[in-house]
Structure 1
């Protein structure tokens, strides 16, 4: 498929090249910002799974250079037009208050480069540099990434001194660290087409991003990450509600409707009392898992075992009644240690949890201007249209080694490649 056909089939791919974005995913972050106002009062940001850098490019142009896009840019143009019309057609009854109000509505001059903004981008793949962006090539699932991130955010941060402070009574491992306002993640695995497997791998990537975000977010901070919508999205919403005041699953218009991709937007970070995040002991795993499972077993009511009939074998088996499972499920629980976990909010925990079997319903919001391009539609290009090259070619594509091996072998079909 050539570039022209892709420009016709994917309008946002074409617009990304025309407007200078590294990838079409930049429009997704811009449309999320229009709906949730993500960049207001934000000066410290961490971009996870950042390559090729389209979201970092948005952060650089909006937070550092002060550029405006979408609705904000349209409002500025309207204000500038009103200002020009008032200057061209002045009225006799203009009072001092009206003049003052007009001056306050005028468009501000372009902002200078902000020096107080700190943006750190992390990815396993190399990424071309951007103005004002600190790039780390690291694994977000590894505990050693947190000290690297903290040192990139605050050069004066000393991991040894922080560890010594943590060992003292009442000390904290992040005493010399200034937390961040926003953590974003556009990471996704290479999809296989097996939806259950893809959703599981994506959930593990989201789990790693959340654990790192809990380590660096300040109270009231925001977290945005890509998810694959599946049957467990309600459980994901309930889990996020433990740490954030507002959680919404959003679908930008630039995201194809035929894709299961969506974004979970978490606003108002409020960790539970006494909670301290760490990648060495992440949520739900590590040394705490056995203790949590033992506490859950101790909290179950003592109920006599019941015998359930196996219709296939014609036998009767004992099943723990408090689990409410079949005989086969109970055997799997006893053998593998699998326990079903329920999520409650604070009020339901005080009342003893839900008894009616009802579920959380995650709010879903489609964001983006309805007059914008449809990401699933094809548009006719003008006759004089010239297709542009991508803004940033791949720095380390996975197919590079395959091309080198093919060239060494003599071409695609064993033919000798002429120098």
Structure 2
């Protein structure tokens, strides 16, 4: 959650702060759940690639009702600030040990649902980003096959691409129903969507493994993309538009009600709900504070200037040498003419 002008006018960004969600992505899971009811009667849930924890917050809010014995396990390589009631594992989703730890926390039982909002650090090279996201989904499915019970649910973020149909068809081999969901809070200009797989029913003889490096075409034998149940837009279509920039001076937080004059306050910037506990760029920030980058930049600039100076001096020396050679040649030529 940054501080750019676009972010300040992003209604879901602002509502996330006002309602203490760690990221605007919380609304995506809530809108999918409102449409499909995927969290109904769930008592064991797993959140993969969970940091900073907005989806775990939604799970905690919707599962931990009075009298409920629900358990939520959140997994990420990065540490995450605590969330009441959520069991956090700092681990690798491609490790069998991580899957075993999940089962242990569920007292030997398997999960009712596995969700994954993870995405790679995008490069801007669309084909590469789409491939990396597909591989991440594969890793998420691999661990899901270890920890998800029969008839369970799997939800994961995908990047829509020309090969998406193959992914849908492959998932259909393991789940009876597959939907592609696009929450209202997901920007329409983004290729982001969510593949929702219902009723986990692996083929007879299927053995879960972490070693599968890619879903092959044979995994979708006899299954084509036309078996996908449909593309579903989630959320109130008359509600907030994730692409629109709303003015900061109006009562945008009160869509349908009458607002008192004292509520019509100008938007004020609010700090993030939960800053990263140990971000990958932490060392770089410390170096920036200490002026290390400035010193490195100054040294590089100094070295560059020195290199340019040496280059000029070398060119000047070469030009003088060439002039000297030309002068000697002219004198020799003149001497030959006199003779």
Provide the TM-score with structure 1 as the length reference: 0.63
Once the two structures are superposed, the pairs formed by residues 76-95 of structure 1 within 5 Å of their partners are none
Work out the CA distance in 2 between the residues paired with 1:28 and 1:7. 17
Deviation at 1:388, TM superposition (A): 1.4
Cα deviation, residue 56, structure 1: 0.2
TM-fit CA distance, 1:371: 1.8
Q: Distance in 1 between matches of 2:217 and 2:23?
A: 40
Q: 2:129 is matched with which residue: 195, 198, 212?
A: 198
**How many angstroms apart in 2 are the aligned matches of 1:134 and 1:410?**
38
Larger Rg: 2
Superposed CA RMSD in Å reads 2.5
Q: For residue 131 of structure 1, what is the aligned residue in structure 2?
A: 84
Aligned-pair distance for 1:284?
A: 5.6
From the superposition, tell whether residues 390 and 360 of structure 1 become closer, same or farther in structure 2 (CA, over 3 Å). same
Aligned residue in 2 for 1:259: 190
User: For 1:277-298, what per-residue CA distance to the aligned partner results, in whole angstroms no more than 9, with x for missing partners?
Assistant: 132x43768xxxxxxxxxxxxx
Q: Distance in 1 between matches of 2:292 and 2:219?
A: 59
Shift of 1:273: 1.3
Partner of 1:13: 13
Q: Deviations over 1:154-177 (max 9, x none)?
A: 2xxxxxxxxxxxxxxxxxxxxxx2
CA distance in 2, matches of 1:278, 1:7: 41
Give yes or no for contact 1:50–1:185 (8 Å, CA) kept in 2: yes
Aligned residue for 1:146, secondary structure, equals helix
Give 1:227's match in structure 2, choosing from 133, 147, 158. 158
Give the structure 2 partner of residue 343 of structure 1. Answer: 220
1:237–1:340 CA distance, 2 compared to 1 (3 A)? closer
* Equivalent-residue separation in structure 1 for 2:297 and 2:99 (angstroms): 50
> Which sits farther off after the overlay, 131-140 or 266-275?
266-275
Q: How many residues align?
A: 282
CA deviation string 1:41-70 (max 9, x = no partner): 110001000000000000011101x3xxxx
> Which contiguous aligned blocks of 4+ residues in structure 1 show a shift greater than 6 angstroms?
413-416
Who is 2:29 aligned against?
29
Q: 1:244 to 1:393 in 2, by over 3 A?
A: same
- Deviation string for 1:346-369 (max 9, x for gaps)? xx7xxxxxxxxx853642111110
| Matched residue SS, 1:377 | coil
Distance in 1 (CA, whole Å) between partners of 2:2 and 2:41 is 43
More helix by share: 2
2:57 corresponds to: 57
Q: Could you tell which deviates more after superposition, 188-197 or 268-277?
A: 268-277
Which of 143, 147, 152 aligns to 2:100? It is 147
Q: 1:241 to 1:283 in 2, by over 3 A?
A: farther
Corresponding residue number in structure 1 for 2:280: 398
1:129-161: per-residue Cα shift (whole Å, max 9, x none)?
11111000001112322222222222xxxxxxx
Q: 1:33 to 1:131 in 2, by over 3 A?
A: same
Instruction: State the secondary structure of the residue aligned to 1:29.
Output: helix
TM-score normalised over the length of structure 2: 0.77
Structure 1 unaligned blocks of 5 or more = 67-111, 155-176, 286-338, 349-357
- In 2, the alpha carbon distance for the partners of 1:21 and 1:217 equals 27
Gap change, CA 1:130 and 1:360, over 3 Å in 2: same
**What are the ranges of 5 or more consecutive residues in structure 2 without an aligned counterpart?**
250-264, 299-339
